[in-house]
């Protein structure tokens, strides 16, 4: 039964969600930096621009790697560019609005789904609070990325799947549509649905087979017939992951630096939740299998954390409620413990918001990129670390040497090796040979990059300082742009 108090709390949680999702942008704006954080937004904007300019699926991305075949998923960028042409709102603003809307709708669907699971109002509210404050949720719907719509659509598809038969066709259509947004996510989602159907709803097995075949067809058609992508791409011979004892493990926990990892407190609480659920033993075997599957996949594809986070948040809420309800010998400890856990969840969420709001690019980088846009020729290639590639493409609208979309780049390993030579060689001849080979005109450096790449003034820093072939054309004590003058 829905009490007015419950409804009020529910409304408050949705309001909290809006605030949480807006906070990173608000904090950045207060710091005088209204650019979106991270790199995904800029990739999306670049693709949206390409689609908007070509009015169809582009055959080539002229900016990435100095020019390459178009290998991207068009779903989200197409939505952005179409909506932008209708509403005349800028891509970035549109992205922000759309993402918050997607976040709210996703939360609504999660609410509708958990309503099917439990009648307990407290549990429902706890689940929603834990989800709203979870780093993956904040990341998904506060930065402009392809996955926000993917998660929304998959939640919607799953919700429709649980409803009347009539909605099954709609669910199929949505799952098929996922193939235009990603390669792996629809497959992970289908694997989750498979486990659910095989254990809980075998009557839908035919539906599942048809949907899977159609989705596979869409994925294959889009990737290999429409985009004409080669069947395989060059396997990376270099590691692009961050340093750490075990990055695969580290990346699934946000408090240990995972980009959109799950909060440690949610994980710990979910252990209590699983303990409670284990009372039912194997009655919800499918649920355990889904969790195990997602945990294993998340070691290799961190994107599956978006799904895992929702599931673990539900289990964590069960754990927390169980802790609250359990008979405690000491009420003092119970009160303190619940307080600590709530603080932990809030701390995790807000520390993540703080992290997102402090992410690059900052004001100085944007100014530097705009300098490149204004003062360089459209065909100039800008050399920098691959982590700066999408910014150079999207803001400066210039060709980058490398970015982090490595798939389907011809000779990507050779290019990586050349970039390493440029970065770490002190030999001017070696460096200029490679710069000439790729027709590089400018070199971009910023303080964060310097700090992460070099421990002292060596390699490229040494070459830049000691050679007359390089002219420092921009320096604001944070960003340095050097022009390379050919000798001949």
> What is the three-class DSSP state of 277?
helix
Q: How far is the CB of 285 from another protein (least distance, A)?
A: 25
Residue 159 backbone zone (phi > 0: left; psi -120 to 50: alpha; other: beta): alpha
Q: Which is nearer to another protein, 43 or 423 (CB)?
A: 423
Question: Nearer to another protein by C-beta: 97 or 240?
Answer: 240
Percentages helix, strand, coil for the chain, rounded to the nearest 5?
70, 5, 25
What tokens appear for 464 in the block? 């830049």
Q: Which is nearer to another protein, 135 or 186 (CB)?
A: 135
Minimum CB separation of residue 337 from another protein in Å reads: 5
Least distance (Å) between residue 454 CB and another protein: 9
Q: Measured from the CB of residue 355, what is the shortest distance to another protein in angstroms? A: 7
**Nearer residue to another protein within complex by CB, 137 or 272:** 272
State the minimum distance, in angstroms, from the CB of residue 464 to another protein: 16
Task: Give whichever of 67 and 244 is closer to another protein, judged by the CB atom.
Answer: 244
DSSP, res 38:
S
CB-CB contact of 94 with 83 (8 Å): yes
Residue with smaller CB distance to another protein, 335 or 378: 335
Nearer to another protein among residue 55 and residue 243 (C-beta): 243
Q: Which of 86, 208, 99 has the alpha carbon at shortest distance from 145?
A: 99
The nearer residue to another protein, 295 or 338, going by C-beta atoms, is 338
Q: Which positions lie near another protein, rule CB under 8 A?
A: 242-247, 249-250, 255-258, 264-265, 268, 328-330, 332-334, 336-337, 340-341, 343-344, 347-348, 351, 355, 451, 455-457
From residue 23, give the alpha-carbon distance in Å to each of 130, 152, 189, 265, 346. 17, 21, 30, 22, 14
- 368 class by beta-carbon count within 10 Å (0-12 exposed, 13-18 middle, 19+ buried): buried
SS3 290: helix
Q: Which long-range contacts (CB under 8 A, 24 or more apart) does 454-463 make?
A: 458/424, 458/426, 459/423, 459/424, 459/425, 459/426, 460/422, 460/423, 460/424, 460/425, 460/431, 462/426, 463/425, 463/426, 463/427, 463/428, 463/431
Residue 165 CA to residue 170 CA, distance in Å, equals 10
CB nearer to another protein: give 35 or 348: 348
In whole angstroms, the minimum distance from the beta carbon of 309 to another protein comes to 18
Shortest separation between residue 195's beta carbon and another protein, angstroms: 30
For another protein, the closer CB: 374 or 455: 455
Q: What is the DSSP letter of 6?
A: H
Least separation, in Å, of the C-beta of 205 and another protein? 42
Shortest Å distance, C-beta 250 to another protein: 4
Cβ contacts of 339 within 8 Å, gap of 6 or more: none
Residue 55 beta carbon to another protein: minimum distance, rounded to whole angstroms: 43
Which CA distances in Å does 446 have to 385, 421, 458? 10, 19, 15
Fill in the DSSP letter of residue 281. G
């Amino acid at each position: 039964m829905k009490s007015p108090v419950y409804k009020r709390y529910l409304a408050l949680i949705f309001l909290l969600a809006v605030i949480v999702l807006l906070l990173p942008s608000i904090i950045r704006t207060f710091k005088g930096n209204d650019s979106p954080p991270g790199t995904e937004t800029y990739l999306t904007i670049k693709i949206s621009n390409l689609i908007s300019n070509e009015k169809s699926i582009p055959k080539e991305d002229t900016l990435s790697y100095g020019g390459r075949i178009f290998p991207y998923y068009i779903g989200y960028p197409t939505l952005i560019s179409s909506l932008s042409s209708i509403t005349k709102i800028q891509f970035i603003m549109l992205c922000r609005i759309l993402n918050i809307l997607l976040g709210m709708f996703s939360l609504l669907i999660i609410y509708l789904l958990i309503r099917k699971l439990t009648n307990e109002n407290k549990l429902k509210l706890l689940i929603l609070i834990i989800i709203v404050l979870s780093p993956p949720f904040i990341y998904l719907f506060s930065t402009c990325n392809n996955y926000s719509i993917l998660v929304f659509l998959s939640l919607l598809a799953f919700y429709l799947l649980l409803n009347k038969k009539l909605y099954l066709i709609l669910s199929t259509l949505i799952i098929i549509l996922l193939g235009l947004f990603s390669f792996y996510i629809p497959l992970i989602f289908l694997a989750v649905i498979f486990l659910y159907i095989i254990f809980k709803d075998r009557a839908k097995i035919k539906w599942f087979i048809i949907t899977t075949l159609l989705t596979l067809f869409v994925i294959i058609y889009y990737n290999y017939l429409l985009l004409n992508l080669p069947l395989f791409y060059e396997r990376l011979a270099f590691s692009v992951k961050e340093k750490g004892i075990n990055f695969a493990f580290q990346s699934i926990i946000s408090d240990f630096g995972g980009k959109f990892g799950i909060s440690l407190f949610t994980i710990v609480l979910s252990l209590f939740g699983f303990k409670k659920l284990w009372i039912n033993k194997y009655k919800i075997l499918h649920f355990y299998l889904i969790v195990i599957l997602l945990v294993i996949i998340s070691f290799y594809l961190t994107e599956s954390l978006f799904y895992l986070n929702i599931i673990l948040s539900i289990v964590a809420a069960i754990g927390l409620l169980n802790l609250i309800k359990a008979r405690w010998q000491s009420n003092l400890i119970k009160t303190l413990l619940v307080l600590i856990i709530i603080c932990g969840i809030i701390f995790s969420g807000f520390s993540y918001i703080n992290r997102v709001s402090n992410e690059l690019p900052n004001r100085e980088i944007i100014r530097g990129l705009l300098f490149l846009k204004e003062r360089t020729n459209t065909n100039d290639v800008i050399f920098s670390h691959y982590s700066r590639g999408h910014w150079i493409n999207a803001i400066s609208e210039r060709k980058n040497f490398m970015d982090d979309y490595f798939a389907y780049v011809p000779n990507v390993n050779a290019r990586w090796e050349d970039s390493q030579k440029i970065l770490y060689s002190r030999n001017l001849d070696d460096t200029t040979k490679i710069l000439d080979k790729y027709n590089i005109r400018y070199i971009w450096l910023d303080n964060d990059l310097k700090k992460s790449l070099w421990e002292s003034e060596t390699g490229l820093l040494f070459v830049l300082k000691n050679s007359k072939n390089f002219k420092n054309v921009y320096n604001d004590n944070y960003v340095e742009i050097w022009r390379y003058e050919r000798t001949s």
